[in-house]
Amino acid sequence: MPYYLGLDSSTQSLSAMAIDPESGRVVLDESVNFGRDLPHYASPHGFLENANPNIKHSNPLMWVEALDLLLGRVKASGFDLSQVAAISGAGQQHGSVYLGTPLSEAGEFPVSVALRDSVAPLLSRATAPIWMDSSTTAICSEIAGAVGGDAVVTRVTGSRTIERFTGPQIRKFYREEPANYAKTREIHLVSSFMASLLVGTSAPIDTGDGAGMNLLDLATATFSRDLLEATAPGLVDKLPGPVPSTQKLGQLARYFVEKYGFQPGTSVYAFTGDNPSSLIGMGASAPGCAVVSLGTSDTVFAAMREPKTDPQGYGHVFGNPAGGFMSLICFANGSLARERVAKDVGYDWEAFTRAILEETKPGNAGNLMLPFFVPEMTPKLLAPAVKRFGSQAFVEGKDAAALARGVVEAQALSMQYHSRWIGETPTLLLVTGGASRNRGILQVLADVFQAEIRTLKTGNSSALGAALRAAQAGGGYAFADLYARFAAPNPDLKVTPAPGTERAYDDLRARFVAELGALG
Ligand code: XUL
C-alpha cells in the first residue's frame, strides 16, 4: 500500500512523517535537530546569534544539509522510501531565501555531490531572515505609507505591515544591500525553497503561506501590484507563484530517487506554512474549534467562517490549505520563555508540572508576570520586558513554583486577550506542539479559557498535516476520512476546567491588560 510523506522545516528541526492511510498508521516519524545534529552552523536554537536582539537570521544551507541528513537517516533505519507515492511539506512561515540563480536554471543536482554544495553557489544572500526578526519597523511604515496606510494593507492582505513578514524583510534587504538585491533573481519562502529542492526546479509559493508576506491580495489570490511596487523594484519577476495549496509541483528530482531509493516519478505537491499545515494535521480545517500550538512560537489559530481582520493589528488571516481562510495570532515568547523560567528555577518538566498542579493555585495568589524574554510581536515590544508583580519572593524571583505557574498563566492570558477579535469563545481547544505533553500547561489553558482541552496522539501536527495533504492531493483521500484515522483526539486525555475556576482569573486578567497598556 502506498505511503504519503510530509516534511516539516521548522525553526529548530526538520521532520519527516509518513502515513499509511489504509491501515491508519504513522509509519515514519524522524527528525533532525539543527542545534544538536548540525552544530557547525552555530545555531543552537535554529538561528544565528546577533548582537542586535531584533535581528534573527538562519543559514539556509543548514536546512539544505538537514534534508540530506534526514533522508540519509530514514534510509539507514531501513525504511523503504520507494513505498512513498506522494510528498508534501511545510515550513516555518515568513522567512525568505535569496537566489542569484533561479532553481529552474540550476540544472540537475549531481548525485555524487552533497546537496548543500550544489545549492551554496546559487545563493545571493548568505543568510535568511526568519519569523523571529523584528528589525523592520521603519520599513513597515514606508510600505504602508506608500499604499495609503495600514488600513489598506490590512484590507488587502489580512494583516497590517508586520516586521517579520516577508515583504518588509525583502524591502530591508533592497534598502541595505541594493547591489545584492539587484543580483537576486528568485526569492522563496522557506516552504517553497524546500519544495524547490525536492523537485529540482523553482517551486511556487502557495497561497496559505503566501498570505504571510504582506504581498498577497486575499480576494484575488494574486500578488498585489501596489504592494509589490511599494516593497522593492522588479519584485514581481523574483517571486514564484502564488498557487493553490493543492497544486502538484511535479516529480521528485533524480538526486533523491538515486540517493535515497524513492520511486522515479514520485509526485510532489505544494508546500505551505507550518501553521496552515498544522490546521490540517489537527483535523481543524472546518470552523468550530481553535488550535493552540505550543512550539518555539506559540500560536492560536482556527478556520474562519468568513475573513475578518484584527482592529488591534496583531492577528492575521492566512490561507486555509483546505480552502477558505484561517485566523492566526503568534507569540514569540513561547517555548524559549518556558524553558528560560524552568532553567532559572532549576526545574525539569516534571517539577515544572508539579509546581503548577500541586504547589500553586489558579490565579497564582495574585502573582502576575509579563513574560517577554525576547522581543515580542503580540503585543509589539521591540525590547525584552520581563516584569513581575506580586509577593516579594515572586518579584525577587525566589518563589520557584509561582514563577513556573506565572509564565504559563501569563502566556494563556495573552493568548485569550489577543484572540478576542475572532469573535468566538472556544469551548474546545485542540493543543499541539512539544509543550502539549505537559499536563500542568494544559490545565492552565483549560482554566483560563474555561474550555475543554484535547490533544492528538501525534506530536508534530505540521508534519502530519503535510502527510495528510500529500494523501489528499496525491491519493484522492478525503480529509474527513484522513482526520478520522489520524487526527482524532487522544481518547485518554481530556482536560476540563477545575471546579470553581470561572472567576479565578478575573483579577489577574484585568491587571494583565492594564500592564500591557502601561507597556505602551
Ligand atoms: C506565524 C509565525 C510562526 C512561524 C514559526 O505567523 O511567525 O508561527 O510560522 O513557526
Q: Which three cell numbers stand for residue 163?
A: 516586521
* Dihedral pair phi/psi, residue 19, rounded to 5°: -125, 155
**Residue 76: other Cβ atoms inside 10 A:** 8
- Going by C-alpha positions, the residue among 192, 158, 12, 201 that lies closest to residue 89 is 192
Name the closest-CA residue to atom 10, ligand 1. Answer: 92
Q: Which three cell numbers stand for residue 295?
A: 512550539
- The owner of cell 498508521 is 25
What is the pTM assigned to this prediction? 0.94
Name the closest-CA residue to atom 7, ligand 1. Answer: 131
- By residue count, the chain amounts to 520
- Whole-number Å distance, alpha carbon 243 to ligand 1 midpoint, is 20
- Ligand 1 within 6 A of 211 CB? no
DSSP letters spanning 445-496: HHHHHT-EEEEES-S-HHHHHHHHHHHHHHH---HHHHHHHHSPEEEEEEE-
Question: 426's torsion region: left (phi>0), alpha (psi -120 to 50) or beta?
Answer: beta
- Whole-number Å distance, alpha carbon 333 to ligand 1 midpoint, is 12
Q: Are 429 and 453 in contact (CB under 8 A)?
A: yes
Q: Which three cell numbers stand for residue 466?
A: 503535510
Q: Which three cell numbers stand for residue 314?
A: 496583531
Cα separation, 300 vs 330, in Å, equals 7
Q: Is the peptide bond preceding residue 44 cis, with omega within 30 degrees of 0? A: no
Pocket test for ligand 1, best of 161, 294, 299 (most atoms within 8 A of CB): 299
- Ligand 1 within 6 A of 299 CB? yes
Residue 402 CA: distances (Å) to CA of 289, 294, 358: 30, 20, 11
Pocket test for ligand 1, best of 47, 297, 327 (most atoms within 8 A of CB): 297
Cα separation, 260 vs 79, in Å, equals 10
Cα separation, 394 vs 400, in Å, equals 8
Q: Which three cell numbers stand for residue 344?
A: 532559572
Largest CA distance in the chain: 66
Q: Which atom of ligand 1 is nearest to the CA of 274?
A: 9
**Residue 133: other Cβ atoms inside 10 A:** 26
Predicted confidence pLDDT, tens digits, the chain (520 residues): 799 999 999 999 999 999 999 999 999 999 999 999 999 999 999 999 999 999 999 999 999 999 999 999 999 999 999 999 999 999 999 999 999 999 999 999 999 999 999 999 999 999 999 999 999 999 999 999 999 999 999 999 999 999 999 999 999 999 999 999 999 999 999 999 999 999 999 999 999 999 999 999 999 999 999 999 999 999 999 999 999 999 999 999 999 999 999 999 999 999 999 999 999 999 999 998 899 999 888 999 999 988 899 999 999 999 999 999 999 999 999 998 999 999 999 999 999 999 999 999 999 999 999 999 998 999 999 888 999 999 999 999 999 999 999 999 999 999 999 999 998 888 999 999 989 999 999 999 999 999 999 998 877 899 999 999 999 999 999 999 999 999 999 988 999 999 999 999 999 999 999 999 988 6
- Ligand 1 within 6 A of 298 CB? no
Q: Which three cell numbers stand for residue 345?
A: 528555577
Cα separation, 283 vs 262, in Å, equals 28
- Ligand 1 within 6 A of 274 CB? yes
Q: Is the peptide bond preceding residue 60 cis, with omega within 30 degrees of 0? A: no
